[in-house]
Structure 1
């Protein structure tokens, strides 16, 4: 028996739905969530110490130090097998969000 166009369409639709369910959409959602968390952290870190005006340089030094320490653990020369790669990726997404938030704050101050 020949397949009709409707049967082919339904089969294609079911195939695409099953492939969508098997993808790692949760990984994408979590990465976006962690980037937004990093963006929120950077906004909090850049506005709270800046209220007094004298903590700006100290806050920037702390942010850069923490940022570089995270990079040191994320990109070592010999990757440690005891550290979970998922945990390192999540910390890296938070770091990317912090960097993005600091760039946005710099553009807000520059305009």
Structure 2
């Protein structure tokens, strides 16, 4: 691929963003935002889909496909060596954030089910 201004700009922005996320507190704050966003989305999706009762099955199917796909991507990798604390063995910040969003979403769905008593 040619080294155009746009390619250079995107590469510089991604490199700076990756450098910004090397700070553990920033990384943790982004993951925590993902978890809280998942809790909010789970509550919003269940109340919105429950209004008409036509979208319940479709929303449940989409959420199951999302959670299973994220689980397969995050946990389905071949782990031949023991996990170490090196940077190469850690997940990327994007995958960690999406996984936290999935965990918050599932947690919120359990809370909504307990609220309804089912």
TM-score (norm 2): 0.63
Matched residues in 1 for 2:33 and 2:52: separation?
A: 31
1:27: Cα distance to partner? Answer: 2.8
1:62 deviation in Å?
1.1
CA drift at 1:55 = 1.7
Q: Secondary structure at the match of 2:54?
A: coil
Alignment pair present for 1:24 and 2:16: no
C-alpha distance after superposition, 1:46-94 (max 9, x if no partner): 1111100122122111110111111122123348x9xx61111111011
Deviates more, 1:27-36 or 1:101-110: 27-36
CA separation in 1, counterparts of 2:71 and 2:49? 24
Q: How does 1:1-111 map to 2 (within 5 A)?
A: 24-78=24-78, 85-110=92-117
Which has more radius of gyration?
1
TM-score scaled by length of structure 1: 0.66
Question: What number of residue pairs does the alignment pair up?
Answer: 86
Conservation of the 8 A alpha-carbon contact between 2:27 and 2:93: no
C-alpha distance in 1 between matches for 2:24 and 2:93: 13
Structure 1's unaligned 5+ residue stretches are 1-22
Paired residues of 2:35 and 2:103 also in contact (CA < 8 A): yes
SS of residue paired to 2:70: helix
Distance 1:33 1:87 in 2: 12
CA distance in 2, matches of 1:85, 1:24: 12
